[in-house]
Structure 1
Amino acid sequence: MKLNLKKINYHKWIPSRFSSFQAKLLIAFLVATLLPLTLVALVSYHVSYNLARDRITNSALMSDEQLIFQLNSRLNQTENVADTIQYQMYAFEHSSPDQVGTMQALTSMRSNISLYKSTFDFFHIYVFLKPEQTGADEGIYFFSTDKLFNYGISESELHSIGSSSLWLLKKNTTLPRVISASKRSANTLLCFRALQDKSSNVLEYAYCIALDCDEFSRYLQTSASDTAISSYILTPQGQIAAHSDSSRNQTWISDSIKQMFLENTNSFFKDNDIYYNCRTLDNGWLHITEIPENYIKSNTQVLIKTLLITVIISLPLTIFIVILFSRKLTSRIAALSYAMESFHLGHDPEHLSIITLPHPADASNYDEIDNLGITFEDMQHTIAQNLKSIVSLSINEERLKYQLLQSQINPHFLYNILGTIRTCQALGKLDIADQMLTNLTAFYRLTLRKSKELIPIKDELEIARLYLEMEKLCHKDNLNWEINAEDGIENFTICKFTLQPFLENSILHGLSADTPEVFISIQVLYGDDTVVISIEDNGAGMSPETLEQLRYAIDNKVINYEKHFGISNVSARISNPLYGNGSVRIDSHPGNGTYVTIEFQQMEDTDEENNDCR
């Protein structure tokens, strides 16, 4: 299993401009200011929007009430005139049967109709008589029933009128030619009345009062407080009779919209961002008022602009005040921070300098920061007095521990090699034993020449190579290896005899009946300010129980002189803070080899004669 040597540095993601205390204090003040300000702005906008919505809708509803009253008054006025004409038609039908009496009744009725038309400003009044009746071809107010169906009423509607009125919408109703008027035709609302003989179903007469749709459009336009608000009169069939925008007169709405109005008659409701006020007129038609939600929002633009201006003005002012009042506070904290950063506990306490901080001369004016600075000065004096003896004792203790471990592993290694040489001599392999003695001589010449605790990595790799050469002589062609190191990394230092115990275990425990040949790979790589050495073999591996025991010894720095002595010894030495503060990790599976990772801090070998850690 390969180990990912690349570590993630999360600190590089934090912008350096926000690392100072003053910047954090500024951000804290801004957050503490902007969050309430934003919350107030949102609440204010929500409240203002609701107030604007209620104000606009209430105003529209009040205007609608006045408009509906005006429309109903006009419709009821028309109904009353129709009732009057109904009475006169009854008198006309029962007038003297002679021609003189009929003409007098006809003349009287025409005068009354003309009076009604001019007095109540109707577009026109049409009376339909039976073709054989006197006056049916008069052509001004009286017409034959044969022409009745040219005015938009169907025969079925005519038979269903009864005693009530029938309101219809007719497009391009024309005036008789003999009537002098500026407007010869118009879209009209017609109020029909008719009388039929119930026994014979013969139409006795009919009449209708025509109202100009533009008149109702003017009512709607006057009532609408803004062009964004639409107001219109809708027939039961879904046709717009009159609209505040006269260009939409005589247009149709969709069946789904019409059904929505029928389901919400005489109510105020909202659908698809539009508020509707749907009311029934006295003639059974609907009056609809539409208020778009965008119109309500547009009335809150002034408040939104005011809130934005407030934020824009208050933000720089807040920043200025925070900077002004925090500069003195942060400057003292920055001085204290710089003093603490400048104070280092090194290995040379003789040159430890005492860093002082400015503070008021009068002790009664001290605050918490001043007391902290004085405490820091006192701490430096105390450390300066005790550091020399503490560091000296600590270094001596660590050196004694290291030398003890080093002295333990050298005889252990020598015992194993001499045992191998003795075995070769007993088997008559004198040439191999001789070559091993030669390599052992070179091996100890190199190790004894390097008398320091830490040696360059290149020397440790040479020691490892000599050891592998000696082992290969015993195992013929069953052992092979490769050693690779990144450029420049060989100049860093490492504890002596770090690699040999792991190589010994790879050979001793790796060779088996199932793995007669062992290949060992040694890689020396750069880590994150560390050196990473991996030792991988394809040997027999180790059982989970053995691996667990070995990991326990490494993690707890337990040196067992009967089991895993070499590896636990290396782990104890390399984890020492004075010699790399490193770690050892082992992974192994039976039949799949063993993978060892040794990682320790990068320590420069700048002086060949002074490369140990004093």
Structure 2
Amino acid sequence: MMIPNWGLKRKFITVFVVLITLPTVFGFIIYYQTSVALKDQAKEDIIGNLEKNEQNLSAIIEEVTNMTAYMTYDKEFRTFFMTPEAETHQLAYKNAVDGINGYFTFQMISKPYVSSVLLEAEDGTILDLGEPILNGEKELAKAAIQKSGAPLWSDAYHVTSEWEGEKEVISVSRAINDLNQINNRIGMVRIRLDHEKLYRSIESQDSSTKWSYFVLSNEGSVVLHSDPSLVGKQYPETELATWVTKGKASSYRLETKDSNYLVVKKELQGTNWYSVAMVDEGEVVQELYHVRNSIRNMIILLILLGAVAFVGFYRSNIRRIIELTKQTWQVSNGDFTASVDVQSRDEIGILGMHFNKMVKTIQNHINVEYRLKIKQKDSELKALQSQIDPHFLYNTLDMIRWTARLENAYETSRLIERLSSIFRMKLNNGKPWVQLKEEINYIKNYLELQQSRLGDRLQFYINVQDDVKDNYVLKQLLQPLVENSIKHGFKDLPRQGIIRIHGYRSYNSLYINVIDNGWGFTNPEKIGIHGYALRNLQERLELVFGKAATLEKTNLTQGASIQIVLPLIDMERVKNIQRELGE
């Protein structure tokens, strides 16, 4: 049966007969199958979404717990906790505090649900980061001490913030012990998580089924819920709370006066909490009614459309559609002389006019782009002819470097070697892509040259994870940001300028943060200067990656932070991008 080869007339008649004789049978079959599928899907959705939320929350708990464990081993944190109050004026202590501030600034930027952090040394020295909290939390401190260095996750509780007023938070507290004398406590840390932001971070709504998600403690109090008024209180449905805290089955059917609910739960490891998800079975049934009505309306509509199509449009439109199809095939085969004879101004006639206009536009674009490429190649040729031979430049710098070494000017030799490396990177054989480790090496050479010029007025730290160093980035991605920090962010700065560069992987993206302690973006003149560099960099990223790359700037208490997010790129992906851009 060669249905694809039938003529339009035969197809119209066949479709019309099918729409008249079979729609009711098909409708009942579809309705029955949809009913069964929706019921099964509702149950699968709620279980799947519960697992996703539980995984999201468990990942956050693990990340924040690891942050507290990190403080036991990190030198800067141990310096803060173990330095007596009388020695807090020393440079080592101040550098440690600066490092801690930078660490938690990065954490709060990358994890919006982290609200504030409290560090308290045994001698009473306190470092409060993030939004200030007015309430006392002595009971949490006592309970954490009794845990002997193990993390203590609290239930949700009420605090008063100087920034946001009344709010609910969840916190983890931990006694920090001496690394060398594990039973000797040297301080206390408490990390508070904003309830609403934490809930938004973990909630998953990937299905069409309406469901609710919340977290209860083992005492039945609400830890996380979409309704903030319930947080910190006993869950109002006593029967459900009792099943969550004491029931052994993983699913439960709750019957109330208004409706029946399907409920599932899962215990969160490392806490005394339970993840709970529930769906109203009545809403699932209501969805089935909507499906049934939609199918009935669809059948009626199809019958009407079939009759109209058969009676009203066959004679007057099929021939023009065939002609338009024929001309479209010509265009798809590269023949841009195709044209449709427009005899009326109805929809098909307008389509024909737009088709003719489109073909002419494509032809014009081809001609224009061809001429532009010729001009571009001519400009590139002239630019190449006017450049100094790179090999001559490298050999000359190398000769100067060895002359300096023979004259025992080792520092001069080292600086010339770094300058030569920078020139090589800038040229890079005309290639716009480099591996991240090459870009970092280039920035390191650049900063060391600047450090030689500025002396103690400049310090920098570079921390890039090994698993992202082989990924490719645009050449000179970071240099405009670092240069702006030195030229404008540190100009007339009454303290040592510090630049921190962090590179790491999160999911399938590369994150690069450039943080300085300069003037920030508060000065209108500096905003214009920074904005020009950022705008140029943003345009480069949009041209290559589109919406897959982002650039965000943030003002800090001291200085500014710029975060670049890029897709992870290997050499095969670089070649694909270059083909797409016509490079």
Interval containing the TM-score (normalised by the shorter chain): 0.3 to 0.5
TM-score of the two chains, using structure 1 as the length reference: 0.36
